[in-house]
Amino acid sequence: MSNNIETAVAAWLNSSIAETDKAEIRRLQQENPDELADAFYRNLEFGTGGLRGLMGIGTNRMNKYTVGMATQGYANYLRQCFGDAVSVAVAHDCRNNSRFFAETTAGIFAANGIKVYLFEALRPTPELSYAIRHLGCKGGVVCTASHNPKEYNGYKAYWDDGAQMVPPHDKNVIVEVEKIAGPEEVRWTGNPENIVMLGKEMDDAYIDMVRGLSVYPDVCKAEHDLGIVYTSIHGTGITLVPAVLAGFGFTNVQVVEEQSTPDGNFPTVVYPNPEEREAMSIGLAKARALDADILLGTDPDSDRVGIGVKNTAGEWVLMNGNQTAVLAFNYLIEARKTKGIAGANDMVIKTIVTTDMIDRIAAASGINCYNVLTGFKWISAMIAEKEGKEKYIIGGEESFGLMIGDAVRDKDAISAVALLCEMAAYEKNKGRSLYAKLVDLYLQYGFYKEGLVSITKKGMNGAAEIAAMMQGFREKPPTVLDGVAVTTLLDYELRVETDIATGAAKPIALPGSNVLQFLLADGSKVSARPSGTEPKIKFYFSVNAPLVAADAIAATEAALDARITRMATELGLG
């Protein structure tokens, strides 16, 4: 064990932490020194979105002390920026210890003279974002690890616009958090009168806001018996989704009971993530048995949504995040034009790793489509930049996230569920399915197929290995992939776009981020990006080809999948 680790362990053993926690450290010293080393080899990083990590004792774990020190630093920064008139909202999801972390967070804010609106029980992350704006708060926190496995928890920090922080506030908060040297510097208790509970009144306000996003309420009424199956995957969605769908007029909503009780152990799944087929399998079986029209699932904090529909052969398929985004973006663009409510200044926003098919759809309607860095905080930042000049309609990213309207400034699976059901009702009213609509879009714009390869690098050496992989691609980018020339390297960390053939370079306007993109001569794209929340490096592949006929979809998809496989192999990822 290194000297740094031994020093960190000794500091905690000599600190004011609870004796039970000191006993756990001593147990690890005797029984599992490797786990102890991993728990103390670094401080759990307060990144630009907050904290996320395994729960347990140690500087590199989610626990009362790391949450407390983060909250103290954040409170200090809020007071620096806003003085004494500061209020925040605090929420939590279903995870083990989430309520404890939320109450700890609220208590520390209160002890620092900050008014706290604390949700009375678990609530979806998007409602936290909405509450910040609705109540005029200066910031907020939600305790969640989103879709991570049950061993994890996290702490997302928000600013006064209801979005996670962007420069300069993200970096400034990190500086203040890093100034907190230990648990002794945290104001743990005091001023409990500063804590106000939030409940039904905020739920009702949020539900009313979501209802206002409907474009075709008459169609929802006509198709009120649309067969909807919904699973909350043991998460917070169960608190609002049934009420929201009822508010849209849907009367045939079947909840997956096996997954409806909030439970931080996620007993029916390995990963509580609607991106995973396994997490949607129980819902899929129920949808098939009921011959439903649409299946929807949300992750533990209800910011991601997955959907299943029947294909043209009547077989149930799960759509990926890009397909869902294509349908949602296109629906709002088309519906607003058809109803005569589209504006000349309408805009949509997506991330740089989300399908370029959306760019084509927007361009065909004369709507600006802005590409931003990964993360909804950057979508929110673009909304703020364009405020008063362009009207934001919808934003999204490939990782099953959508943000409809600007009342919420983070991805929102609750409103997405409602919109997707309205979309299914709209298509059913015309005698077809959402899948048939997707095929029509492929025929019109081309078949865009995306693939993702994630490589996990855990532990003390993982970050170094990921950094080495990125540096290797940065210094020696591929020049040919699957027989097609790589024409352009986009290095978002250096903020430079380079022509591979000539070496000519020009600046990238977006903020710096550790992302590389390789653009190919045929319109294909490969992106490499270390995850900001998990010990992974992700490679995003995007290829496309014309779809000549609806019955050619299987063959076209197989050919595009084969291309992605060959490209991944050539990059050494196979």
> pLDDT, tens digit, for every residue of 231-255?
999 999 999 999 999 999 999 999 9
Parallel, antiparallel, or unpaired for β 228-231 and 253-255?
A: parallel
> pLDDT by residue (tens digit) across 353-364?
999 999 999 999
CB of 167 closer than 8 Å to CB of 134: no
Query: What band does 565 get if pLDDT is binned at 50, 70 and 90?
Result: very high
Dihedral (Cα; 462, 526, 514, 59), 10-degree rounding: -30
> pLDDT by residue (tens digit) across 308-328?
999 989 999 999 999 999 999
The residues spanned by each domain of the chain are 1-41, 45-198, 206-445, 447-570
Whole-prediction pTM: 0.95
Segment 222-228 shows an average pLDDT of 98
Q: What is the pLDDT of residue 1?
A: 66
Say if 45-198 and 206-445 have the same CATH topology.
Answer: yes
Q: Has residue 534 got a pLDDT over 90? A: no
Partners of 244 in the β-ladder: none
d(CA 181, CA 160): 27
CB of 333 closer than 8 Å to CB of 365: yes
Structure tokens belonging to residue 195: 């804590």
Structure tokens belonging to residue 277: 């087929």
Structure tokens belonging to residue 138: 């200066």
Q: What is the pLDDT of residue 209?
A: 98
Q: How far is CA 91 from CA 94, 123, 547, in A?
A: 10, 6, 46
Average pLDDT, the chain: 96
CB of 158 closer than 8 Å to CB of 90: no
Q: What is the pLDDT of residue 533?
A: 66
Cα first-last separation, the chain? 35
Segment 396-404 shows an average pLDDT of 96
> pLDDT by residue (tens digit) across 46-87?
877 789 999 999 999 999 999 999 999 999 999 999 999 999
| Residues contacting residue 351 through CB under 8 Å, at least 6 positions apart | 371, 372, 373, 374, 375, 378, 379, 396, 397, 398
Segment 165-193 shows an average pLDDT of 95
| Residues contacting residue 339 through CB under 8 Å, at least 6 positions apart | 215, 216
d(CA 386, CA 382): 6
Segment 427-453 shows an average pLDDT of 97
Structure tokens belonging to residue 398: 């490939």
* Yes or no: domain 447-570 corresponds to CATH 3.30.310: yes
- CA 40 from chain centre, in angstroms, equals 28
Backbone angles phi, psi at 554, to 5 degrees: -65, -45
* Positions marked catalytic: 146
| Residues contacting residue 62 through CB under 8 Å, at least 6 positions apart | 44, 51, 52, 53, 54, 55, 56, 97, 101, 145, 152, 153, 154, 155
Architecture of the 206-445 domain: 3-Layer(aba) Sandwich (3.40)
SS (H, E, C) 452-494: EEEEECCCCCHHHHHHHHHHHHHHCCCCEECCEEEEEEEECCC
Q: Is the dihedral of CA 23, 26, 31, 32 positive or negative?
A: positive
Question: Which of 435, 441, 432, 437 lies closest to 364, judged by CA?
Answer: 441
d(CA 220, CA 423): 9
Query: What band does 458 get if pLDDT is binned at 50, 70 and 90?
Result: confident
Superfamily assignment of 45-198 in CATH?
A: Alpha-D-Glucose-1,6-Bisphosphate, subunit A, domain 3 (3.40.120.10)
> pLDDT by residue (tens digit) across 145-175?
998 899 999 999 999 999 999 999 999 999 9
| Residues contacting residue 37 through CB under 8 Å, at least 6 positions apart | 1, 2, 5, 460
Q: How far is CA 563 from CA 4, 449, 559, in A?
A: 47, 10, 6
